[in-house]
Structure 1
Amino acid sequence: MSHKYVGGCEHVRTWADHDPIDNHTCHCSVCKRVTGQPTTHVVFFKHGDLSAANEHNMNRQPFNSENPGGPLELCTCKTCGAPIMLDDKQHRIRVIVPNLMGYQSRGLEATYHAFYDPKTGVPKPNDGRPVYEGLRPEFAWPAGS
């Protein structure tokens, strides 16, 4: 069966047939620390809209090592170590980073910059997309289960 968005690795496949609820370029320190990238293209799906085959083959660890009790877990493949997704223990969202989690960016382009902090000394992005100090103001967290 063909899916709209497909990623993961050869051992744990992920897919979604619904569009994401948020696409942004993240400037937060946690994403920088975890990915090693100066900014990270982040895509949020409603929890039930991103599925995974072979979830039993995923290791789960806190996404934010400075807040290990936080809601997000980084899921990696037990076999090859590839990052698969971020899973929300509250079942609100599942998150992918297209360039690290096997997804094509086409159709998942970031629409704004999130968590930009001018105190870091990094120049404010000027690519025409809105820049916010958090998530876009109209973003609403979906209900968890």
Structure 2
Amino acid sequence: MSQHYSGGCEHHPVRVSAEPIDNHECHCNVCKKVTGQHTTHVAFFNHGDIKTDNEAAMKRVPFNADNPNGPLEICLCEKCNAVLMLDDKQKRIRVAVPNVMGYDDAKFPKASYHAFWDESKGYPKPDDGRPVYEGLQPSFVWPKGA
């Protein structure tokens, strides 16, 4: 497997074999709650493009505590509690958050747009020249699941 990016921890080294299929600066309330960050650089990959060793041993918790049966799970190292990836139960995508999941954020491409921004957030609309959307960019198409 050709490696484009790597992250994870010493127990679960995470390997990424492709470029992101979506790469955005997220403004959603779930990312804010989970990361404690005002905005979060999020990269979506096809499900098979992110792998680690001994995936069965990872702890899994709901990404969205308000929707525990939702499709995304946070994968944690069972030994050191490092955040490894977000995994989609439908096996469409896996998600890397470079500055949270052990990646070298400087090696990732810059987020190409702002996602999930709305006026109710209470701060000015981003004006860094990147497009700003109320959801994912309109051209994004979810990959088929397994």
Shorter-chain TM band? over 0.9
**Does structure 1 residue 32 correspond to structure 2 residue 40?**
no
Q: Any gaps of 5 or more consecutive residues in structure 1?
A: none
Residue 90 of structure 1 aligns to a residue whose secondary structure is coil
> 1:3 matched to which residue of 2?
3
- After TM superposition, where is structure 1 displaced by more than 3 Å over at least 4 residues in a row? none
Q: Distance in 2 between the 1:107 and 1:40 partners?
A: 13
Task: Give the superposition deviation at 1:107.
Answer: 3.3
Provide the identity percentage. Answer: 61
Alignment of 1:1-145 (within 5 A): 3-105=3-105, 106-145=107-146
Q: Distance in 1 between the 2:6 and 2:69 partners?
A: 29
Task: Give the superposition deviation at 1:4.
Answer: 1.3
Native 8 Å contact 1:9 1:82 kept in 2: yes
Query: What's the TM-score, normalizing by structure 1?
Result: 0.96
Quote the RMSD (CA, aligned, Å). Answer: 1.2
Q: Figure out how many residues of one structure are paired with residues of the other and give that number.
A: 145
Task: Give the superposition deviation at 1:101.
Answer: 0.3
